[in-house]
């Protein structure tokens, strides 16, 4: 079922000139929640989310392969987006990233600039100290937006 939803989402995104960023499925008391995250270089608009949601919903209704009550949500991954797949890391090169990882038996949590994505690792710059972190050691990572710095810049 997940593969079919992913194919429908990818095809729909391609028709609307946006990229599929991620898909999440969550179970709730009210039923299955399918969350589709879309992105593009200039950012996605609410209208684009609405159009894509409507297009995907039409295909899901027509094909009728989900055998339970479900709810569809389409949105942008936001300013602070989870980095799960290699393509997510590639799209975040040059951005601030908050990362939790294990290295040499120790847990670390740091904020730095993602410099490079290699086949099995990433390179981060932490205050001018470069560190290579293996994908297998990463526990959680997401892009980081400094709200305090941003609000000061606007004053």
Q: What gap in Å lies between CA 151 and CA 128, rounded to an integer?
A: 25
H or E element: which one contains 148? helix 147-153
Distances (CA, A) of 12 to 8, 52, 54: 6, 7, 10
Mean confidence (pLDDT) of the chain = 92
Contact 114, 94 (CB under 8 A): yes
Q: Does 124 score more than 90 pLDDT?
A: yes
pLDDT in tens, 70-82: 999 999 998 899 9
Give 22-28 contacts, CB < 8 A, sequence gap 24+: 22/77, 22/82, 22/84, 22/85, 22/88
Q: pTM for the full model?
A: 0.77
What ranges do the domains of the chain cover? 2-75, 86-146
Q: Which CATH number fits domain 86-146: 3.20.20.70, 2.30.30.520, 2.40.50.140, 2.60.290.11?
A: 2.30.30.520
Q: Classify 2-75 by CATH class.
A: alpha beta
| pLDDT score for 146 | 82
Topology match between the domains 2-75 and 86-146: no
């Amino acid at each position: 079922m997940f593969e079919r939803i992913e194919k429908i989402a990818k095809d729909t995104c391609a028709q609307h000139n946006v990229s599929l960023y991620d898909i999440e499925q969550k179970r709730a008391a009210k039923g299955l929640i399918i969350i589709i995250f879309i992105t593009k270089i200039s950012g996605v608009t609410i209208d684009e989310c609405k159009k894509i949601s409507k297009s995907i919903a039409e295909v899901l209704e027509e094909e009728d392969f989900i055998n339970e009550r479900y709810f569809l949500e389409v949105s942008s991954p936001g300013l602070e987006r989870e980095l799960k797949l290699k393509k997510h890391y590639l799209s975040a090169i040059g951005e601030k990233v908050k990362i939790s990882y294990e290295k040499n038996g120790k847990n670390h949590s740091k904020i730095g600039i993602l410099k490079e994505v290699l086949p099995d690792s990433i390179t981060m710059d932490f205050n001018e100290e470069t560190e290579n972190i293996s994908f297998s050691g990463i526990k959680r990572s997401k892009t980081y937006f400094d709200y305090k710095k941003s609000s000061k810049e606007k004053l």
